[in-house]
Amino acid sequence: MKKVVTFYFLVFFIFTGRSIAVEGPEELYVKANSSYENMDYEKAASLYEGLLRMDNISPEVFYNLGNSYFKLKKIGKAILNYERALRLDPRDRDIRLNLKIARSMAIDKINTPEKGFILGAILFLYDRMTANELAAMCSLFYLAVVLFLILSIKFIAKRRLMFYTAAAFGAVVFILIIFLSVKINKENFTKTGIIVAEKIDVRSGPKEDYLLQFTLHEGAKVSIVKDAQNWYEIELSKDLKGWIPKPSVDII
């Protein structure tokens, strides 16, 4: 009798295991979208999170997850996922618009310096391109520099024109390299996080008994300076910094 029970258990396990394995990222994504459309935002968020755990990372998944948390009124997690989506697709207007709306709903209004028209125009490429795209543009313009230098040797009559053109492309390459270096440093070596706890006290040291400095609410964007056990030292400005528990913030 035990052998029969064991046999049927194994058969059940094999078939159920197959059905689970068959359900890949595409099926989960469809289910998550369906749950969102049916206004089951908790289930939709759970399914989108499941996709991320499967390394199915894309701006669409982060964007939809942000929308799910926004509907659940979890502004911190909505902003977090909009920020992540924007890193992957910095030219998407919907992501930028929803991020702007979510930020406006955050309690803490942290002022950032205005770029101004000229600086905004200069940094347009930086803001609208990913690190991979900037790297590709650097390579393309570098090849153009090499090409015009070669042509300047072959076409003596137009050497000066070719040389000046190569110099202009070289200047563009220099600017793009600066943009690329800053973006790589920002995304890989500078930690930025979003407060996901509803409310958190920022203290002068990495323990609960340290002096209370100020209070932050979900959705606030902070720079992470140091890591000490279960605490992060965060910074809003040179004069505004302190320590918060790690679970209260998620890294973008």
The pLDDT of residue 4 is 41
The pLDDT of residue 115 is 65
> Does residue 22 have a pLDDT over 70?
no
Task: Please state, in angstroms and rounded to a whole number, the distance separating the CA atoms of residues 109 and 216.
Answer: 10
DSSP lists the bridge partners of residue 209 as none
> Does residue 7 have a pLDDT over 70?
no
- 34-68 confidence digits (pLDDT tens): 999 999 999 999 999 999 999 888 999 999 999 99
Placement of tokens 């991320």 in the chain: 52
Residue 9's pLDDT band, with cuts at 50, 70 and 90, is very low
- 170-198 confidence digits (pLDDT tens): 999 999 999 999 999 888 888 999 999 99
The pLDDT of residue 160 is 86
Structure tokens, 12: 């059940």
Placement of tokens 């068959």 in the chain: 22
> Does residue 109 have a pLDDT over 60?
yes
Average pLDDT over residues 161-174: 92
Task: Please state, in angstroms and rounded to a whole number, the distance separating the CA atoms of residues 236 and 231.
Answer: 16
Q: Say whether pTM exceeds 0.85.
A: no
How many DSSP H helices and E strands does the chain contain?
A: 10, 7
- 64-102 confidence digits (pLDDT tens): 999 999 999 999 999 999 999 999 999 999 999 999 999
At residue 141, the 3 state secondary structure works out as: helix
The pLDDT of residue 199 is 95
The pLDDT of residue 101 is 96
Residue 32's pLDDT band, with cuts at 50, 70 and 90, is very high
Residue 1's pLDDT band, with cuts at 50, 70 and 90, is very low
**Mean pLDDT taken over the chain:** 87
- With DSSP H G I counted as helix, E B as strand and the rest as coil, what are the percentages for the chain, rounded to 5? 65, 15, 20
